Each structure stands twice: as structure tokens, then as C-alpha cells.
Amino acid sequence: MMKKDKKKVIQFGAGNIGRGFLGQLFSESGYETVFVETREEIVSSLNQRRCYKLRIIEKDNSRDLIIKNVRAINSQNEAKVVEEIKTGDLMASAVGVRNLSFIASLIKRGMIQRFKNGIEKPINLIICENLPEADKVFKEYLLQGLNSQDKKYIESSLGLVDSIIGRTVPFVPIEMRKEDPTFIVAESYSVLPVDKKGFKGQIPYVKGMTLCDNLKAYKDQKLFIYNAGHAILAYLGYQKKYRYIWQAIADNEIRKVFLGALEEAGNALMKKYQFEPQEFRSFINDLIRRFSNKDLGDTVARVGRDPIRKLSPKERLIGAAHLTLEYKIIPENITRGIAAALFFNQEGDKEAAKLAELREKRGIDEMLKNICQIDLKGKLAQLIKNHIKKEP
């Protein structure tokens, strides 16, 4: 008897989220995972071994998993990538916002091949990118330059499924990467919330995938609680010269600001989305446990990196502050974190260096006006500057 073909997922990006999270979920759901990746050393290693090691770091229960049934294609081999899309059952993207247009061009070509081959069964793309309305952005890239027939086919046969990535995947030391370029470390958290409305055809089974009717509510929760709290720990931790996030959250002064910021944002979110207080408290308690994980070794440098983007108006800090003010909640602790972020200058972080240069040459007002895009005469600017006056 001929063996039934296994399900196949094309995973764009074999980086931290690709290997450190999605690869595990797909493997444990019975998929063959075909990674599409630019780094040849990772492509070669995955093809040679057809597996990789994922170390799950959890207090008193760390363990190594072997993620099997994988292979890889260099993303420059476009013809081969298109062929895999033609015969795939599912796709996922974790490539970073800057690379989305290139990935979209590959998927566009693959979908056109499916159309030419008369494949009527829809295929879905789970978009795992840190980008608001990622499905809409991706759709714009996809539909550029298409004729009416191809456009109609893609709109009816490709599901664009936005998602929320909540797993922390810290840096692997250089020495370990040299020994094994595919080795990856991650925390145990393994929930993948996705937008139920984004799917076309039958919704595939993926272990850990949670279907959400209102993904926006949970995206805001992740951005203004998880991401904002994480960033505040990093920026306040940097001020006290801590190396690790667990050191920052263990500091009583920092912990007080962190918890205060979460309460401010949390109260606003409960008013906006009617979250249950008990559900929210459980979420925050879980964050405290995860951020306190010493064994994970998550660093202030990693969490705080790219401060210019994280200080932009719709991002984790300024966005959270605007939200609280909208619901008549004073973001006293959130703005303490923003003030610290304005002075983040981690060695080796190019964006932090640009931030420091702007601060020294133009001053705080220019940063608030041009980066944070806030009214210098408004309440938010005054709160931030009050904290800056208190800085040593």
C-alpha cells in the first residue's frame, strides 16, 4: 500500500520564533515542517540532520526536545519555495516586518501555481509578526500587480490569519551557536492565539492554537501588559545596571513600578474589553512567574533593544499611557517607565545610540515630539517630564 502523504507546513523564517516556538507546535501536530530561511548554515544543518534541539527552560523542569521531521530551503531558491507552496497544507510567517514584502512575493507566486494546477482547496497563512493589523498589511503586498483572475483566486483560497506570539525566546550564547547553529532555547509557554475569522476552508489542527473571535482585545492585552511590563523592567533594570530581567523584577523598587504599570493598563483594558478581573489577575501572576525565571537568562539588553520603535506612539509604552488617560486613569507608573526608556543606551544597541545622540543634541522635548509624537503641553508630556526631573 502507498503511504498517505503527511501534512506539510511551509514555515517562513527559522529564527527564534520559527524554531523556538512554531516548529515545536507543528512537529507535535504531525506536520512535516519545511523552513524557508536565508542563513545557509541553518539551512544546511536542518537538511543534514532533519531535526534540531529545543531546550525548554522551566523552574525545576527544564528539558531538551528533539524537533523532528524538518527540512529547509534557502529563500533565494525561489522556484523551489514556490513548488513547496504548491503542495503545502499550511503556511506560517515569522520573518520580521522588514522581510514581509519579499515573503509575500514568494507566496503570491506559489498561489498562482496552485491556481494553474487547479487546486481548489484553500491554504492558510498564520502570520506571526509583531505588527498591528498584520493580515491587512500582508494582503496589500500580496495583491499588488495581480490580474483579476489571480486576485480573485488568492482572495478566495488564501486565509490570512493574524496571531499573537507570547513565548519568550532569549539569545543563545555565541559559543553554543557555533557548535550547533540550529540549537534554540525557549520558555515553556505554548499558547498561540489566532484570529478565527482569518481562516479559509477547514481550520487546521495545531497544538496550542487558540481560536479568538476578538483577537484585537488579546493583542492589546499582550502589547500593553506583557510587552509594556517587560520593557519597563528592562529600562528600569538598565538604570540600576542589572544584566537580567529576573534581577530587575526581584528589585522591590522596580517591582513596585512594574506592578503599578500593569494595574494602570489592566484597569483600562478591563473597562474597554470587559475582561474578567480574575482572568486578568491570573494573566499577570503568570507573567510575574515567567519574568522571574532565572534559568531562562533573559537579558535587559535583549528586552530593551530598539528603544526608538518601542517609544513610538502606538507602541507598548506610549500606547498604554494614551489608553489609560482615555479611561481617566493616571499612568504614573507607565510614565516612569517611559522616562527611563528615554535614557536607555545599552552598549552595542545602534538604535539606543541614536536615541542618546538625539537626546544630547535636541533635548527631551524634541524626543517627545518627534519619536513619541505627543503634545508637549498635554498631561502625558508633563507626567513624563516630572519623572525626568527626579532622575539623578
Percent of the chain with pLDDT over 70: 98
**pLDDT for residue 173:** 77
Q: Are residues 104 and 204 in the same domain?
A: yes
Q: Which residues contact 154 (CB under 8 A, 6 or more apart)?
A: 108, 111, 115, 142, 143, 146
Q: Are residues 187 and 258 in the same domain?
A: no
Q: How far apart are CA 4 and CA 29, in angstroms?
A: 16
Q: State the total domains in the chain.
A: 2
How many other CB atoms sit within 10 Å of the CB of residue 263? 15
Q: Are residues 335 and 256 in the same domain?
A: yes
Reported as a pLDDT band with limits 50, 70 and 90, residue 4 is very low
Using the structure block, give the residue that is written with the C-alpha cell 544630547: 360
Q: How far apart are CA 388 and CA 343, in angstroms?
A: 9
Reported as a pLDDT band with limits 50, 70 and 90, residue 93 is very high
Q: Which residues contact 71 (CB under 8 A, 6 or more apart)?
A: 32, 33, 34, 35, 46, 47, 50
Residue of 139, 80, 135 whose CA lies nearest to 110: 80
pLDDT tens-digit readout, 24-45 = 999 999 999 999 999 999 999 9
Q: How far apart are CA 122 and CA 165, in angstroms?
A: 24
CB contact at 8 A, 100 and 141: yes
pLDDT tens-digit readout, 205-261 = 999 999 999 999 999 999 999 999 999 999 999 999 999 999 999 999 999 999 999
**pLDDT for residue 62:** 85
Q: What is the CA radius of gyration of the chain?
A: 22
CB contact at 8 A, 16 and 31: no
Report the SS3 class of residue 372: coil
Reported as a pLDDT band with limits 50, 70 and 90, residue 390 is low
Decide: residue 375, CB within 10 A, 0-12 exposed, 13-18 middle, 19+ buried: exposed
Q: How far apart are CA 392 and CA 388, in angstroms?
A: 9
Q: Which residues pair with 73 in a beta bridge?
A: 36
Q: Are residues 113 and 250 in the same domain?
A: no
Whether 380 is covered by a domain: the verdict is yes
Reported as a pLDDT band with limits 50, 70 and 90, residue 178 is confident
Last residue of a domain, one of 213, 243, 265: 213
Report the SS3 class of residue 317: helix
Whether 287 is covered by a domain: the verdict is yes
Q: Are residues 376 and 254 in the same domain?
A: yes
Flag whether pLDDT at 3 surpasses 60.
Answer: no
Report the SS3 class of residue 207: coil
Q: Are residues 68 and 31 in the same domain?
A: yes
C-alpha cell at 359: 537626546
Q: How far apart are CA 236 and CA 257, in angstroms?
A: 9
Whether 1 is covered by a domain: the verdict is no
Whether 76 is covered by a domain: the verdict is yes
**pLDDT for residue 2:** 35
Last residue of a domain, one of 213, 239, 254: 213
Residue of 256, 214, 199 whose CA lies nearest to 232: 256
pLDDT tens-digit readout, 309-342 = 999 999 999 999 999 999 999 999 999 999 999 9
Using the structure block, give the residue that is written with the C-alpha cell 498635554: 378
Reported as a pLDDT band with limits 50, 70 and 90, residue 59 is confident
End-to-end CA distance of the chain: 76
pLDDT tens-digit readout, 117-166 = 999 999 999 999 988 788 999 999 999 989 999 999 999 999 999 999 99
Flag whether pLDDT at 98 surpasses 90.
Answer: no
pTM of the prediction? 0.86
Q: Are residues 223 and 134 in the same domain?
A: no
Decide: residue 61, CB within 10 A, 0-12 exposed, 13-18 middle, 19+ buried: exposed
Instruction: Please tell me the least confidently modeled range out of 59-63, 293-297, 311-315, 352-356.
Output: 59-63
Q: Are residues 92 and 44 in the same domain?
A: yes
Q: The domain containing residue 381 runs over which residues?
A: 216-390
Whether 2 is covered by a domain: the verdict is no
